[in-house]
Structure 1
Amino acid sequence: MDRSTGERHRVLAGYVLGCDGANSLTRTAIGASMRDLRFAQRWLVVDVDTEADLAAWEGVHQVCDPHRPATYMRIGATRYRWEFRLRPGETAADYQAMDRLHPLIAPWTKDIAPERLELLRVAEYTFRAQLADRWRERRIFLLGDAAHLTPPFIGQGMGAGLRDASNLAWKLAGVLDGSLSERVLDTYQAEREPHVRTLIRRAKLVGTTMTEGGELGNLIRAAVVPRLHRVPGLQQRMLRSETPARRRTDLVLRPRLRRTLAGTLCPNPVLEHGRRLDEVAAGRFAIVTAIHPAAGQHAAIDRRGAVLLLARPGSELDRWLLGGDATAAAIRPDGTVLSAGRDLSALCDTLLRSGGQNTS
Structure 2
Amino acid sequence: MAQVTPREIGRNVAATPRCAGWDSGAVTERPVVVVGAGPVGLTAALLLARRGLPVVVLERQAAPYGQPRAVHLDDEALRALADGGIAEEFLRVSRPVRGLRLLDGRRRVLAEFARATSPGPHGWPQGSMFAQPDLEELLLAAVRRSPLVEVHTGCELVDLVRDGAVTRDRASGARSTLRAAAVLGCDGANSTVRALIGARMRDLGRPDRWLVADLRSADPLPLWPGVHQVCDPHRAATAMPVSGDRYRVEFRLRPGETRDDLAARLPALLAPWGAADAEVVRVAEYTYRAQVADRWRSGRVLLAGDAAHLTPPFIGQGLGLGLRDVHQLAWKLVAVLAGTAPERLLDTHQAERAPHARAMVRLALLLGRLMTGGGGGAAVLRRVVLAGVGRVPAVARFATDSRTPPLRRGPLVVRRGRAGRRLAGTLLPRAAVVCDGREVPVDDVLGPGTARLRLLAPGRLAVRPEGSPEVVVADVDGALTGWLRRAGAASVVVRPDRIVLSAS
Q: Shorter-chain TM-score: which interval?
A: 0.7 to 0.9
Alpha-carbon shift at residue 96 of structure 1 (Å): 4.7
Show the counterpart of 1:18: 185
Distance 1:42 1:288, change over 3 A: same
Residue of structure 1 equivalent to 2:270: 105
Q: 1:303 to 1:331 in 2, by over 3 A?
A: closer
2:358 matches 1:194: no
Match of 1:280 among 445, 464, 477: 445
Q: How many residues align?
A: 328
Q: Identity over the aligned pairs, expressed in percent?
A: 49
- Superposed CA deviations along residues 276-331 of structure 1, whole A, max 9, x for unmatched, are 22233343322111149xxxx99xx5672587565759932223223333322111
Map 1:203-242 → 2, pairs under 5 A:
203-242=364-403
User: Do 1:18 and 1:143's aligned partners in 2 also have CA atoms closer than 8 Å?
Assistant: yes
The 5 A counterparts of 1:309-324 are 310=473, 315-324=478-487
Q: 1:227 deviation in Å? A: 2.9
Structure 1, unmatched stretches of 5+, are 342-360
How far the C-alpha of 1:266 sits from its partner, in A, is: 1.8
Asked if the contact 1:95–1:101 (Cα under 8 Å) also holds between the matched residues in 2, the reply is yes
Show the counterpart of 1:152. 313
Normalized per residue, the structure richer in helix is: 1
Q: How do residues 234-313 of structure 1 correspond to structure 2 at under 5 angstroms?
A: 234-255=395-416, 258-260=418-420, 261-272=423-434, 273-291=438-456, 301=464, 304-305=467-468, 308=471, 310=473
Deviations 1:81-123 (A, max 9, x none): 21100011222233455xx31111111136x5xxx44332111
Q: Distance in 2 between matches of 1:35 and 1:173?
A: 29
More strand by share: 2
Greater shift in the superposed pair: 173-182 or 242-251: 242-251
Deviation at 1:75, TM superposition (A): 2.5
1:92 counterpart residue number: 259
Aligned counterpart for 2:502 among listed residues 336, 339, 348? 339
Secondary structure, aligned partner of 1:233 = helix
Query: What is the SS of the residue equivalent to 2:357?
Result: helix
**What is the match of residue 341 of structure 2?**
180
Question: Which amino acid is 1:289 matched to?
Answer: R
Give me the whole-angstrom Cα distance separating, in 1, the residues matched to 2:430 and 2:333: 23
* CA drift at 1:132: 0.8
TM-score in terms of structure 2 length = 0.60
Bigger mean CA deviation after superposition, 142-151 or 213-222: 213-222
User: Residues 20, 308 of structure 1: CA spacing in aligned structure 2 closer, same or farther, 3 A cutoff?
Assistant: farther
CA distance in 2, matches of 1:12, 1:225: 57
Q: 1:52 to 1:324 in 2, by over 3 A?
A: closer
Match of 2:328 in 1: 167
Higher relative contact order by CA 8 Å / sep ≥ 6: 1 or 2? 2
CA distance in 2, matches of 1:66, 1:88: 12
User: Where in structure 2 are the equivalents of 1:30-41 lying within 5 Å?
Assistant: 30-41=197-208
Residue 172 to residue 306, structure 1, CA distance change in 2 (3 Å): farther
Which protein has the larger Cα radius of gyration, Structure 1 or Structure 2? 1
**Aligned partners of 1:241 and 1:286: how far apart in 2?**
24
> In structure 2, what is the Cα distance between the partners aligned to 1:102 and 1:337?
50
Matches within 5 A, 1:25-174: 25-96=192-263, 100-109=265-274, 116-174=277-335
Query: What's the TM-score, normalizing by structure 1?
Result: 0.82
Helix, strand or coil: the match of 2:432? coil
Q: Kindly report the root-mean-square deviation, in angstroms, between the aligned alpha carbons of the 2 structures.
A: 2.6
Residues 1:58 and 1:319: Cα distance change in structure 2 (over 3 Å) = closer
Query: Given that residues 288 and 311 in structure 1 are in contact (C-alpha distance below 8 angstroms), is that contact kept between their aligned partners in structure 2?
Result: no
Structure 1 position 67, deviation (Å): 0.5
Query: In the aligned structure 2, how far is the partner of 1:314 from the partner of 1:77?
Result: 32
Paired residue type of 1:124? E
| Larger deviation, residues 117-126 vs 318-327 | 318-327
Please list the CA deviations of residues 110-165 of structure 1 after superposition, one character each: whole Å capped at 9, or x if unmatched. Answer: 6x5xxx44332111111111111111111111111111111100101111111101
